[in-house]
A and B are shown apart, each in its own frame.
Chain A
Amino acid sequence: MGTVFSFDVRDHPDRLSARQAIALAVAELHRIDARYSTYLAPSEISRHRAGALTEAELSDEAQKIFAACRRLRETTRHSFDPWCLPGGVDPSGYVKGWAIGRAAELIGAAGCRNFSVGGGGDLHVRGEPSPGQVWRVGIRHPDDPKQLAAIVAATELSVATSASYERGAHIHDPRTGLPILQHTIRSATVVGPDPGSVDAFATALFVAGLPGFEWLPIEQGYHGMLITEDDRISCDRGFPLLPADA
């Protein structure tokens, strides 16, 4: 897959313990990759997609993932739907976030309280980057991979962004000759407590656009932000956005 994961452990002055915690998390990510990567023919998911394994024959863990995907499909009114993709069911849009959650669990279980872990654009932060501070999470600017559109502040949070960063060709109104500003979604970011859900919701919100706020479970702590083709940001009031000069 080639997804790069970054780990940033801030506590543990004992660097060996931090490295050991990260090593455990990395091993878990490899295990998850071996089981759920659709790019690996012998993986459990590939064998299921090829028809060699029925869903009932999948591991308990895989079945729980499928169950979570079904709930998310229902919540998002099928804007997140691993079953509608050609080639067979593909839960990657949930598994990536879930994997980050598993990595975070292991790092936490190893005794770390202040860290961030991320991969493929999704991430999880916990604790403080330094005493008395909150994590400041940048959200990539759609026009420049080295710039930010916004900053989110968090103590413990999962963040996921789904995007297509190429600008579409402007459609011109033949009556005026002026470009019609689109509300096409360029990127969708969702924050919330569960990393797998956040990943699925970001994918779904990207697909659904503004109407996605109808089903996004804000009361459960999930908040969303959209960047549209007309260079506007739309987010629900609970989205933990920091002002640009903060």
Chain B
Amino acid sequence: MKRAILALAGTVTGLVGVLSLHPHATTALASSHPGLNLARGAGATTTDSAGAAGSTSGSASADQSSEGQASKGKSSGAPSSAAPSSQAAAPETVRTLTGQPVETGYGPVQVQVTVSGKKLTAVQVLEAPTQSGRDVEISNFALPILHDEALSAQSANIQVVSGATYTSSGYQQSLQSALDQM
């Protein structure tokens, strides 16, 4: 599921790159990046279009994922001023559009884009479970079985113990109490 987030971030930044390379190909963009709905007319929509960005992410993101949910949060609406055939006449209004937050299983992802005229000028991922995109590897292994491989204070040669909160009565039964008397 983390891959979905990385793919999403990759998709969003990849789109910015693609758009800046083709600043005038609005119509072409609209067809090859249907998720962004740049060619839509008046009545900006902020609903997501499922699945569409999945195809766009293929070109941009390093970590390709076909998970539908990776695409959902990305498209965040269309500037109502966009008109496919009259790009020269379109006013350079700047709009900031915020997508719906999408629950991914590791937390919500929400994307905000800034559109200037018909050009996507900035993209920001507002909320993502792992902001740094780091990879956390978890090791999983068996708890030592008592009386067989149990680690006792003396054989383990420890000096101090971390355990859940114990009060003065619980302290007497604790290993720390035994260590303090050694």
Contacts and interface: CB of A to CB of B under 8 A. Distances in A.
A244 B164 contact: no
Nearest to B157: A136
B176 A233 contact: no
B161 A233 contact: no
Contacts of A146: 152-153, 173-175, 178
A137 B160 contact: yes
Interface in A87-124: 96, 116, 118, 120-123
Contacts of B159: 8, 116, 125, 129, 135-137
A118 B164 contact: no
B146 A144 contact: yes
Nearest to A186: B143
A216 B130 CA distance: 10
Interface string B143-175: 110100111110011111111111111110111
Contacts of B41: none
A162 interface: yes
Nearest to B171: A4
B140 A160 contact: no
Contact of A234 (B134, B139, B151, B176): B139
Given A8-B160, A122-B162, A237-B139, A148 B107 contact: no
A122 B144 CA distance: 22
Interface residues of A, number: 61
B151 A227 contact: no
Contact of A148 (B106, B129, B175): B175
Interface residues of B, number: 43
B3 to A, nearest CB: 13
Interface in B112-150: 129-130, 132, 134, 136-144, 146, 149-150
A6 B141 contact: no
A179 to B, nearest CB: 16
A64 interface: no
A236 to B, nearest CB: 6
Contacts of A215: 129
Contact of B164 (A2, A137, A162, A218): A162
B166 A123 contact: no
B5 to A, nearest CB: 10
A164 B173 CA distance: 16
Given A1-B167, A122-B162, A136-B159, A214 B146 contact: no
A149 B160 contact: no
B175 A77 contact: no
A65 B167 CA distance: 24
A189 interface: yes
Given A4-B166, A143-B146, A146-B153, 18 more contacts: A4-B168, A118-B160, A118-B162, A135-B159, A136-B156, A137-B159, A137-B162, A138-B160, A140-B162, A145-B175, A151-B156, A159-B162, A214-B106, A214-B107, A233-B142, A234-B139, A236-B138, A236-B139
Interface of A: 1-4, 6, 8, 77, 96, 116, 118, 120-123, 125, 129, 135-152, 159-165, 187, 189, 210-211, 213-216, 218-219, 227, 231-237, 239, 244
13 contacts: A3-B165, A122-B162, A125-B159, A140-B162, A141-B151, A148-B150, A148-B152, A160-B162, A164-B164, A211-B106, A214-B136, A218-B136, A219-B134
Give 8 nearest A-B pairs by CB, closest first.
A140-B163, A163-B164, A148-B151, A138-B158, A2-B167, A4-B171, A2-B168, A136-B158
